Amino acid sequence: MQDRQKAQDYRALLLADTPLIDVRAPIEFEQGAMPGAINLPLMMDDERAAVGTCYKRQGADAALALGHRL
């Protein structure tokens, strides 16, 4: 029942031409997105790389803090 409601909600959004903003990385957006969505990534590729490197070297908390600063 809940899944059916979600599908109906998505359908209503699409039929109403509701603006959809996809904040994923451009490469993720290119692999598939909702019809009509526009891509406004939260971070640029170099920022994502910096957060990933920070995560590997210093852990999740440090990477999260860096992401918030960026």
Among residues 46, 56, 44, 51, the alpha carbon closest in space to that of 66 is found at 51
- The list of the chain residues with pLDDT below 70 reads 1
* Average pLDDT for the chain: 89
* Residue 21 C-beta-side C-alpha neighbours within 13 Å: 4
Q: What is the DSSP string of the chain?
A: -HHHHHHHHHHHHHHTT---EE-S-HHHHHH---TT-EE--SS-HHHHHHHHHHHHHH-HHHHHHHHHH-
Are 20 and 7 contained in the same domain? yes
33 and 4 in a single domain? The answer is: yes
pLDDT in tens, 34-45: 888 999 999 988
Counting the structural domains of the chain, the total is 2
On whether both 35 and 49 belong to a single domain, the answer is no
Same domain, 66 and 47: yes
**21 and 1 share one domain:** yes
Prediction pTM value: 0.62
Domain co-membership, 1 together with 14: yes
Domain shared by 31 and 63, yes or no: no
Which residues span the domain enclosing 30?
1-39
